[in-house]
Structure 1
Amino acid sequence: MCFAALEKHWLSDRISGIVPDMEKKIIKKLQQAVGKANLLTSLEECSCYSYDASGQNFMPDAVALPESTAQVAALLRLADEYRFPVIPRGAGSGTTGGSLPVHGGLVIGFSRMHRILEIDPENMIAVVEPGVVTGELQAAVKKHGLMYPPDPASLKFCSIGGNAAECAGGPSAVKYGVTRDYIIGLEVVLPNGEIMRTGVRTEKGVVGYDLTRLFIGSEGTLAIFTKLILRLLPLAEAKATFLLSFSSLAQATGLVAKSLTAGLMPCTLEYMDRTAVQVVRDRLSNSLPEETAALLLVEFDGSKAEVEQQGKLFAEFVQQEDCVVRRAESEEETQELWLARRSIAPACLSLRPHKISEDVVVPRSRIPELVRFVEQLTQELELIILTFGHAGDGNIHVNIMVDKQNEQEYGKGLKAKERLFERVLSMGGTLSGEHGVGITKSPFLSQELDETALSVMRRLKGLFDPHNILNPGKIFPV
């Protein structure tokens, strides 16, 4: 067992025989910081932290499982002293490799820092540790008549800290926004072990630079979250869910912008193409028309009066469209529809053993153009590519299905990714709406950001982390 960065640092000016002794010394100090039982060093234990949903593997040298801010700070002071990499990790549900130890080093897992520290119903805030599971927080605040709106598809197991690091979104973003809109304050540990608090517990606060927003979405490269102050909203009184089946893909995607400009305000507006529908068809008890080329899942929430009005306006609006409309008649039926939608990502692996998962965003009015382009790629490159996702805000997930053991097919998949990115940027879009950059998108960063912006970002990284300790190799191309 050896710390890759430490070995390079020490071997540059010392004899190799010293390195094992230094490793033992560091291991002992790490054990003192978190407790011997909470420092994992065996191959079997560390392998559990070597992968995420991107499908890539990088073995850490050790894994620490702290239970307090003080322990996190102690770990980072050691990293600053001995110059080894530290990689913060939530539930490992990310798809861009953001939590992978690409240069070895110490992974810090937050499964023991999973407490909801406070729910304040009067001021509608919650204070949580980073390991809190998103769905469990939603269930907890619901008991107080409140809601935490961000709802990524992996909400049953993803963590708030990971959501904050990637600025996760989800289906409700079209109405409620994304994770950064609900984090109003943070406690973080900097790479040198210093503890800092940012933000407020109030609705307003403009004292100093907005460091809270800077850290959200920074993918663990600037600081490590140890507490998060979250803004909550009153729980919606009522909800209405509609499923629309279309025989025309263009008609389904074209309806997205039309519905929003018609004065309708759904809390979710989700899209699924034919292939996406096929992989989850068995999860729907009511059969769909055989000619179904696309589905829209549309939901309204609010007061009973608001939902009734919006539901009525929507029913009148879609009468003009050539589609089959189904309204969920019970909470069970609503949950069934959502289960099918949230199952697409894992279910599509029945088509091919691997996927290149992208989460591009384009202006809503250009979704039909994007989907047509993907259809062309599918035919031209002879690949299986499915599109689905958060059409209400233009965030379309494009899953390119491949078998990595088939070099020709995998090569075509990578080519499809490159061409997809080129087209998205030419349409005024962005390469990621919620998955982040990590390592899978970093080679393409300069296509979206100009050199001045990249230079400023690198300087910010250097200011917070001069020794490149936190999550090295992420975001910026190496």
Structure 2
Amino acid sequence: MRTDNGLLATLTDALGKDAVLVDPDVTSSYRRDMMPLAPHGTPLAVVLPADTAQVQAVVRACGAAGVPIVPRGAGSGLSGAANAIDGCVVLVTSRMNEIVEVDPDNRLVVVQPGVVNLDLRGAVEKHGLFYPPDPSSYDWCTIGGNLSTNAGGLCCVKYGVTTDSVLGLDVVLADGELLRTGRRTVKGVAGYDLTKLFVGSEGTLGVITQATLALRPLPQAPGTLVAAFPSVAAAGAAVSRVVREGIVPSLMEIMDATSIEAVEAHLKTELGAGKGCAALLLCQSDSGGEQARRELSAIEQVCQDTGADLVHSTFDLAEGQMLLAARRAVLMALEEYGTWMTDDVCVPRTRIADLIAGCERISAEVGLRIAVVGHAGDGNMHPTIIYDPTSPGEFERANQAFHDILAVGLSLGGTVTGEHGIGKIKREWLEREIGPVGLRTHRAIKAALDPGNLFNPGSMFSME
């Protein structure tokens, strides 16, 4: 086994001095993502490879030295999946930011993992095409991180999550060999679906160095509907009926009273909800023309039938963008109350109101503000806990609330993560959700692909 100095010399020879960072003042910024609860350590080094060959060199060098590798994108994660562990090498893919190919005829794009989500969307729009996954951090998160956590976003109700847009991957395995999965064709069932195995694996099975992604025709400018409800139950009933009637908006978001209050104060505007509003439903249709009008009209009728106090629809693009900007601004608005810690649970769409009620109960029990926003179209909710980080008591209560919310989500037939991933903060919850046989299967796959347990060890689950 090589010494640390020997490993650093090997990495420097392979990548160049400017791509191997060891100054603690520099590497400290790569230690953790945006989840304050998740544990993190001190890396031996941070490396910034520029291509697949350099990733292979890093993997082989670390493998020979027995040093763990933690792959990292932009650090926008909310589960600690990219957090360093003591003595590891953090492999940052930000320099691998090339859009390799856009193929309009086959509606696909080939990208490196460091491409920013918003930059990809802008690049393919020039060809009249659309890359659907849009996490809330889409203006700075990278495709590699999206792939590693199987990220979602606001448009999942119609377009699905990241894995639904992935055709194939290039992955560097633990022995340094390059695996190519998937294909460029629309259909293909040859062998196991290894592409889906790596999407959402949080860097525990290999390092993704390139992805072939499916694109869609650029949708029409959306029409937007907002509905204010006197109770969360009424809003939940509207969501259930929209789903039952087969209406598929491109976006269907819900905001509770705490979120509405925060956004209105932050943006210094009124969303038209009124003082008695307990929940706001925000929907869009990008189907275009008469079909979009029919979809929004049908949703408007559902909202009225389920007791909405106010329903407003618009095809004015600026007004629709303002309403959507209000939804995206929730986390920034909550920062004015204190530090936020956002959870991520997904429940059956018929149980959204029950989850929000559970969060209200937990808020009262711990004495902390909890705001709930989420993707009502697929049941993925983001309860966000506000606390004072300088108060140990409040941090402990926020931690308790975070885990109590997960328990409520599971009790409602849900899952402990809809899009943020398990990371280093929900490992015990993964075991509770999938059970001992599921955990044993995960460990067997991990052992087969990473026998030295060097890829992001301790993320998702332990090998013990």
Q: CA deviation at 1:312?
A: 2.6
Local SS of the residue matching 1:336: helix
Letter in 2 for 1:283: L
Rounded Cα–Cα distance in structure 2 between residues aligned with 1:325 and 1:215: 43
Aligned length: 458
TM-score (norm 1): 0.92
Encode CA deviations 1:320-370: one digit per residue, 9 max, x unaligned: 3332122244322222222221121233122222x3321101110111111
Q: 1:149 aligns with which of 113, 127, 132?
A: 132
Paired residue for 2:333?
347
Local SS of the residue matching 1:387: strand
Structure 1 unmatched runs, 5+: 1-9, 11-18
Rounded Cα–Cα distance in structure 2 between residues aligned with 1:148 and 1:342: 19
Rounded Cα–Cα distance in structure 2 between residues aligned with 1:319 and 1:454: 46
Paired residue for 2:455?
470
Q: CA deviation at 1:285?
A: 4.1
Local SS of the residue matching 2:335: helix
Rounded Cα–Cα distance in structure 2 between residues aligned with 1:107 and 1:472: 12
Rounded Cα–Cα distance in structure 2 between residues aligned with 1:369 and 1:315: 23
Encode CA deviations 1:187-237: one digit per residue, 9 max, x unaligned: 010122111100000101111111101000000000100000000111112
Report sequence identity in percent: 40
Structure 1 residues 286 and 274: CA distance shift in structure 2, 3 A: closer
Paired residue for 1:4?
none
Say which is worse superposed, 44-53 or 179-188, in terms of deviation.
44-53
Q: CA deviation at 1:264?
A: 1.8
Structure 1 residues 342 and 358: CA distance shift in structure 2, 3 A: same
Say which is worse superposed, 406-415 or 386-395, in terms of deviation.
406-415
Encode CA deviations 1:141-184: one digit per residue, 9 max, x unaligned: 11111111111000000000100000000111111110000011
Does the CA contact (< 8 Å) of 1:65 and 1:111 recur in 2? yes
Q: CA deviation at 1:48?
A: 1.8
The CA RMSD measured in Å over matched residues stands at 1.7
Q: 2:94 aligns with which of 102, 111, 114?
A: 111
Paired residue for 1:364?
349
Structure 1 residues 233 and 409: CA distance shift in structure 2, 3 A: same
1:188-227 alignment, distance < 5 Å: 188-227=171-210
Local SS of the residue matching 2:430: helix
Q: CA deviation at 1:131?
A: 0.4
Encode CA deviations 1:286-345: one digit per residue, 9 max, x unaligned: 453222222111011113232122123233333333321222443222222222211212
Does the CA contact (< 8 Å) of 1:284 and 1:336 recur in 2? no
1:64-463 alignment, distance < 5 Å: 64-281=47-264, 282-283=266-267, 285-288=269-272, 289-320=274-305, 321-353=307-339, 355-463=340-448
Does the CA contact (< 8 Å) of 1:103 and 1:472 recur in 2? no
TM-score (norm 2): 0.95
Say which is worse superposed, 314-323 or 293-302, in terms of deviation.
314-323
Structure 1 residues 284 and 197: CA distance shift in structure 2, 3 A: farther
Say which is worse superposed, 212-221 or 94-103, in terms of deviation.
94-103
Q: CA deviation at 1:25?
A: 2.1
Local SS of the residue matching 1:449: helix
